[in-house]
Amino acid sequence: MKKKQVAVAMGGYSSERDISLKSGGIVCEFLDTKIYDVYPIHILSSGWFYVPNASERVAVDKADFSFEVAGKKVVPDIIFNTIHGTPGEDGILAAYWHMLGIPQTSADYYQAALSFNKRDCLSVLKNFGIHVANSYYLNHGSEVPVEEIIKRVGLPCFVKPNRAGSSFGISKVKEMDALLPALEKAFLEDKEVLIESALKGTEVSVGTYRNNGEIVVLPITEIVSENEFFDYEAKYEGKSEEITPARISEALEEAIRKEAIRIYQVLNMNGITRSEFILQDDIPHFIETNTTPGLSKESIIPKQVRAAGLTLTDFFGYLVESASLEK
């Protein structure tokens, strides 16, 4: 049987580039090479390259996403998308691959763009009865009505870039005087900023994916951060405890599972997503969903996969085969 040609796209143009390269490296390491020919593809602001080893880079032809291997042209059968941030998580590359007719493992281009825009995603889900925090939205350069903002969201509140991940640019604001500096920090990452009420309760994260058409929910992870919130340091530098399965009741676990499936269905997702919730008064409040969640050794999804009794090889294979079915 001919092997499927799988290009693992990693990198990106945002602050999340290095994290994405780690995620892509894990996928390349664990994909079953008996079934797939695996090609690491670095998509960077400096160029797009097939990178077979640390000392070699082969340019990718953007006309058809092809590259040369041992003098032969390779056009991938499937893209395994591990790019966090733009252009892999916001739908730009998904639209490009769609035009080329190459299936990929993440959400389709519209769904990716919608979920990457926190404001728009929250607005859609709120209309379906999903519980979310109160929020206020600002564009860069617009007037900042501090008192009006605080009246809407209260203190403490979170200030975050509207279209970014991995907790870059996020601040927890406890006093009114700290709001403007927090906005300046967030605007370094994005021209749009979201300000949200700080919900009080247990934070949980849950992975959801599609396997042969069935929506599967992975074991839920409880986040216990040593810092004020689940920031970059907590996520990637060991300043948090990630407990899988979460220490919650069966009833609450079932409520979260149902909410995760509902969100996956409402947003019409594909591939693996990771949704975050705060359990305030035993009600899951949706924070955000990630359509290309981290897959590095420090990331939550691989831990949930192992807790489900799966290997990363099996799991990554499910994502590739599900993408093949979507073609």
Per the structure, the count of domains in the chain is 3
- The upper half-sphere exposure of residue 283, i.e. CA atoms within 13 Å in the direction of its Cβ, equals 8
Using DSSP bridges, classify how beta strands 36-44 and 4-11 pair: parallel, antiparallel or unpaired: parallel
For residues 184 and 209, state if they share a domain: no
Measured distance CA(271)–CA(211) in Å, rounded:
9
For residues 184 and 213, state if they share a domain: no
Domain coverage including residue 185: 135-197
Output Rg (C-alpha) for the chain, integer angstroms.
Answer: 20
- Residue 58 pLDDT more than 50? yes
For residues 139 and 23, state if they share a domain: no
Quickly count: other Cβ atoms within 10 Å of residue 157's Cβ: 25
Q: What does pLDDT average to over the chain?
A: 93
Residue 222 gets the label, from left (phi > 0), alpha (psi -120 to 50) or beta, of: beta
Confidence of residue 234 (pLDDT cuts 50, 70, 90): very low
Which residue type is seen at 35? I
Rounded to 5 degrees, φ, ψ at 303 are: -65, -40
Q: What is the pTM of this model?
A: 0.90
- Residue 311 pLDDT more than 70? yes
Query: How much is the pLDDT for 127?
Result: 94
- Residue 237 pLDDT more than 90? no
Query: How much is the pLDDT for 227?
Result: 57
Contacts of residue 286, Cβ cutoff 8 Å, sequence gap at least 6: 122, 125, 130, 131, 132, 259, 263, 275, 276, 277
For residues 222 and 174, state if they share a domain: no
Measured distance CA(193)–CA(256) in Å, rounded:
27
Mean pLDDT across 239-260: 93
Confidence of residue 297 (pLDDT cuts 50, 70, 90): confident
For residues 233 and 271, state if they share a domain: yes
Tell me the pLDDT tens digit for each residue of 187-217. Answer: 998 999 999 999 999 999 999 999 888 999 9
Query: How much is the pLDDT for 288?
Result: 94
Residue labelled with tokens 């929250």: 122
User: Long-range CB contacts (< 8 A, 24+ apart) of 26-34?
Assistant: 26/295, 26/296, 26/297, 26/302, 26/312, 27/80, 27/82, 27/295, 27/316, 30/311, 30/312, 30/313, 30/316, 31/6, 31/80, 31/313, 31/316, 31/317, 31/320, 32/313, 32/316, 32/317
For residues 282 and 310, state if they share a domain: yes
Could you tell me if residue 121 is inside a domain?
no
Could you tell me if residue 282 is inside a domain?
yes
The residue out of 144, 162, 197 marking a domain boundary is: 197
Query: How much is the pLDDT for 239?
Result: 60
Query: How much is the pLDDT for 166?
Result: 52
Query: How much is the pLDDT for 228?
Result: 64
Could you tell me if residue 218 is inside a domain?
yes
106 closest CA partner among 2, 247, 210? 210
Query: How much is the pLDDT for 240?
Result: 72
Task: Return the SS3 of 300.
Answer: helix
Burial of 243 (0-12, 13-18, 19+ CB in 10 A): middle
Query: How much is the pLDDT for 168?
Result: 79
- Residue 321 pLDDT more than 60? yes
Give the DSSP letter string of 145-164. -HHHHHHHH-SSEEEEETT-
Tell me the pLDDT tens digit for each residue of 135-184. Answer: 999 999 999 999 999 999 999 999 999 987 656 789 999 999 999 999 99
Query: How much is the pLDDT for 64?
Result: 98
